[in-house]
Amino acid sequence: MRRFVSVVVVAVTSGLEIPVVSRRTGISYLPSSAVSRAKAGNKIEKTKLAKDPTNAWSDLHAYAAAIRSGELSIEEVEAGDANIRLKWAGLLSRFKKTPGKFMMRLRTPNGIVCAKTLRAYADAIEPHGGVMDITTRQNVQLRRLPLEAAADLVRELHSNHNATSFQSAMDNVRNVVGSPLGEHDLVDTRPFCNALNDLVSLNPETGERGNPRWGNLPRKFNIAVSGGRDDFAHARINDIGLEPVPRGDEMGFNVVVGGYFSIKRVASAVDLDLWIPADVNVVLDLCSAILEIFRDEGARGDRQKARLMWLVEEYGIPAFRARVLEKAEGLPHDAAQRWEDDYGSRRELLGIHPTHVGVHVPVGRLSVDEMRLLADLADDHSNGELRLTVEQNVLFPNVKSPDALVRRLTDRLAVDPGHIKGHTVSCTGAQFCPLAIIETKHLAERVSARLDDLVSTDRPVRIHYTGCPNSCGQVQLADIGLMGAPARRLDPISGKTKAVPGVNVYLGGDVGESFTLVTEPVLKGIPIDDEDDLVDKLADLVVEHFQGVRRHH
Ligand code: SRM
Ligand code: SF4
C-alpha cells in the first residue's frame, strides 16, 4: 500500500492511503454548536463530518498520481470523494452523462480572464474533446476532464496563472460577480471582487489556494458587487449584494442580503438599511462578518432552508443588521442611501462602444478553436484581457481598433447578433447536468436564431432557459423564462396523452433598477418536443408583450 509524504494523519479510502494535510481543516473553524447541529444534520453535513472535504485539495493530487501509476482506476475512487468532496476542488463528476469525466468549475473574479489562461483551459480540454461554458456567474466551466488532467490543470493554474478551481462548488462561496465594465463603471468592482475572491479561496497562513476558514458553510453562498445602476452583476439575487450609491460626495454601497433561487423558494434580497463606504477593507470586513454568522449559526438540517435568507428572517432585519455590526466591530456605516433621480434605460453591453467591444457567445458555449480565437483577439486588441458577463458573453476592454477586431470574428461570434439571439441565456441542461429535466443549450441556440428571423423588435428581449427548478438560468428575472417541467401531449393515434419534454413559462422579470423577480409561471407544462410549435408560441409572446412584429418572408 502506498504512503504520501507531508501528512500527519492518514485516511484509508478505496484501498488507497490518502494524505490529510497538517494545516487546519474546515471543521476546525466551526464552533461546537455548529458541529452539534451538523452531527444531527442532513446527509451532506454528515459526509463533511466523516471526512473533511477541505482535504480534497490534496486528495485530488493523490488520486491523480495513483490513477496515473495504474494503482487505482477512476471507478475505484470512493463515491463520497468522487461525487461530493472533490467539488471542494471544483471538480463535479459528470459520470451519468460522460462516464469517468469531470466538469471543472473555475473561479473568475469579476469575470476577468487573460488570454494566457484561456489558452491553458483550451490546452487542458482539447485532448479530451471538451468544451468551455461561460456561466451565469460570469465564470468558466470546462467539460470532459479526466481527474489526472484536472489535477495537472490545477497545478498549472496555481503555479502560473494566479487562478484556481478551489471552493467553486458545494458549500462554498461561489464566483464573486462584478461589473464587466470595470474601470468604466461608476465603481470599478475589480479590486473588490479580487479581494473577496482571495478572502474566500486563499489561505492567509500558507499562501496556498483553498481557505479552510470558509470551507464548511451550511450551503452555497453568492456575493455580487454591482458597479453601477445598470446592475450588470445582478446584486439582488445574491446572498450578499452591494449596490453603489453615494453619500454626498462619497461613493459607497447599500447592502442587500438573502437573495436566492431554489426549487422550493425564490427570494429577492432584502435591504439591510446599511450603507458602507466603497473601500476594499470595509467590504472585506462586512462580508467576513456575514459569512461568519452564516457559517456558525446557519441551519444544517433541511438544505432547502439553509440559505442565508432563512437566517436573516429568523433574526428579523434590524436584529440581523445589529448582529453584523456587532461582529464587524467599528465598521464605518450609515443608513441606506438613495438616488435622487430616475436612471432611465439600461446600457447595452454587446457591440462596439468607446469603452469596449461586446461579443455574443451563443448560450455561453465555446469550442477549443473559439477559445483560441478569443485569446488571440485579446492579445492583439485588449492587452490580453477578456471579461465575461452573467449573460454568458465576452467583452474586450479598451480596444483601439474595434473594426479590425470585428473583422476577425466568425459568423457564430458576433457583435450584432439580433435582439433575441443576443439576449438568450441558458443553463447547462441535460447534455451534462444530472439534475436536468430537459436539454437546454442546443434548443436555446436553435430557437433564438429562428425567432430573430421570425419577429423583429425594437428592443432586446431577454429569453432565459433553465433545465430544472433550481433555475441556474435565472428564468425568474428574464423577459421570458422557460423552465424544464413535465408536460403531456395528446397522441392522435391512441387518443391518449403521453409524457413529453416541457417547460413552465415565466413572463415579465426585469434587471437593473427596475429589478423584478417573477415567482410564478404564467403557463405550465407546455410541450417542447415540437420545436416549430415552440418557436411559434414564443413569437406570439414577443408580439403580444414586447411590441414584436412578425416578419413576412
Ligand atoms: Fe446552479 C446546482 C450549474 C448558476 C442555483 N448548478 C447546480 C449544479 C451544480 C447541479 C449539479 O450537481 O450538477 C449544476 C452543474 C451543471 C453543469 O454540469 O454545469 C449547476 N449553476 C450552474 C451554472 C453552470 C449554469 C450555467 O449554465 O451558467 C451556473 C454556474 C455558476 C458559477 O459559475 O458558479 C449556475 N445556480 C446558478 C444560479 C445563478 C446565480 O448564481 O446567479 C443559481 C440561482 C441563484 C442561487 O444560487 O441562489 C443556481 N444551482 C442552483 C441550485 C439551487 C440552490 C438552492 O439554494 O437550492 C442548485 C442545486 C443545489 O445547490 O442544491 C444548483
Ligand atoms: Fe442543471 Fe437544473 Fe441548474 Fe440547469 S437549472 S444547470 S438543469 S441544476
List domains and CATH numbers for the chain: 8-160 (3.90.480.20), 182-327 (3.30.413.10), 351-550 (3.30.413.10)
Give the pLDDT score at 344. 81
276 ligand 1 Cβ < 6 A? no
The predicted structure's pLDDT at residue 351: 98
What cell was used for 69? Answer: 501509476
With a cut of 70, say whether residue 189 has pLDDT above it: yes
Query: What is the spatial distance between Cα 270 and Cα 257, in angstroms, rounded to a whole number?
Result: 5
Alpha helices for 218-307 (secondary structure H): 280-297
Count the residues in the chain. 553
Residues 186-204: b if buried by 16+ CB within 10 A, e if exposed: bbbbbbbbbbbbbbbbbbe
Q: Where are the alpha helices (DSSP H) in 232-339?
A: 280-297, 308-315, 317-327
Residue 10, pLDDT score: 40
Q: What is the pLDDT of residues 421-435, one digit of tens each?
A: 999 999 999 999 999
Probe residue for ligand 1, chosen from 138, 472, 511, 517 as the CB with the greatest number of ligand atoms within 8 Å: 472
Q: Name every residue whose Cβ is closer than 8 Å to that of residue 430 and which is 6 or more positions away in sequence.
A: 97, 436, 437, 438, 439, 440, 467
Q: Which of 114, 287, 427, 472 is catalytic?
A: 472
- Indicate if ipTM > 0.95: yes
Q: Which of 216-220, 323-327, 489-493, 531-535 has the lowest mean pLDDT?
A: 489-493
Can you tell me the mean pLDDT for 74-89?
96
Tally of CB atoms within 10 A around 36:
12
Cell numbers at residue 249, please? 460626495
pLDDT at 529: 95
462-479 mean pLDDT: 98
Report whether pLDDT(14) > 70: no
Collapsing DSSP to helix, strand or coil, 183 comes out as helix
**524 classed as catalytic:** no
Residue 429 CA, closest ligand 2 atom number: 7
**237 C-alpha to ligand 1 centroid (Å):** 13
Q: What is the pTM of this model?
A: 0.96
pLDDT of residue 509: 98
pLDDT at 343: 85
pLDDT value of position 542 = 98
* Predicted confidence band of residue 492 (pLDDT cuts 50, 70, 90): confident
Q: Per residue in 498-548, pLDDT tens? A: 999 999 999 999 999 999 999 999 999 999 999 999 999 999 999 999 999
16 band by pLDDT with thresholds 50, 70 and 90: low
- Check if 190 is active-site: no
Query: Does residue 472 have its Cβ closer than 6 Å to ligand 1?
Result: yes
215 classed as catalytic: no
The reply to whether ligand 1 has any atom less than 6 angstroms from the CB of 136 is yes
Atom of ligand 2 at shortest range from CA of 430: 7
Question: Would you say the CB of residue 262 lies under 6 angstroms from ligand 1?
Answer: yes
In 3D space, the residue among 187, 106, 118 whose CA is nearest the CA of residue 154 turns out to be 106
Give me the pLDDT at residue 11, please. Answer: 44
> Which one of 51, 85, 101, 105 is the catalytic residue?
105
Contact 352, 406 (CB under 8 A): yes
Task: Give percent of the chain above pLDDT 90.
Answer: 93
d(CA 465, CA 212): 35
- What is the mean pLDDT of the segment spanning 18-43? 89
For residue 498, what is the enclosing H or E element?
Answer: strand 497-507
- Does 145 have pLDDT greater than 80? yes
Catalytic status, residue 550? no
Classify residue 232 as exposed, middle or buried by CB count within 10 Å of its CB (0-12, 13-18, 19+): buried
CB 427 near ligand 2, within 6 Å? yes
C-alpha 436 to ligand 1 mean position (Å): 11
Say what the pLDDT of residue 527 is.
96
Centroid of ligand 2 to alpha carbon of 440 (angstroms): 9
- How far, in Å, CA of 443 to CA of 412, rounded? 16
* Statement: residue 6 has pLDDT above 70: no
Please give the distance, rounded to the nearest whole angstrom, from the Cα atom of residue 503 to the centre of ligand 1. 18
CA of 117 to the centre of ligand 2 (A): 26
Q: Is 193 a catalytic residue?
A: no
CA of residue 466 relative to chain centroid, distance: 13
Q: Where are the beta strands (DSSP E) in 197-315?
A: 223-225, 240-247, 250-257, 260-261, 266-267, 270-277
Q: For residues 499 and 470, is the Cβ–Cβ distance under 8 A?
A: no
Question: Which residue among the candidates 26, 252, 473, 512 is catalytic per the annotation?
Answer: 473
- 403 Cβ partners below 8 Å, 6+ apart? 352
CA distance 234 to 472: 13
What would the pLDDT profile of 330-341 be if each residue is shown by its tens digit?
A: 999 999 999 999
Q: What does the pLDDT read at residue 22?
A: 74
The pLDDT score that the predictor gives to residue 3 is 31
Ligand 1 atom nearest residue 261's Cα: 48
- Longest pairwise C-alpha distance within the chain: 73
Q: Is the pLDDT of residue 9 over 60?
A: no
Q: Is the pLDDT confidence value at 54 over 70? A: yes
Pick the ligand that lies closest to the CA of residue 469. Answer: 2
Distance (angstroms) between ligand 1 centre and the Cα of 437 equals 14
CA of 170 to the centre of ligand 2 (A): 14
Q: What is the mean pLDDT of the chain?
A: 95
Q: Which of 5-9, 105-109, 489-493 has the highest mean pLDDT?
A: 105-109
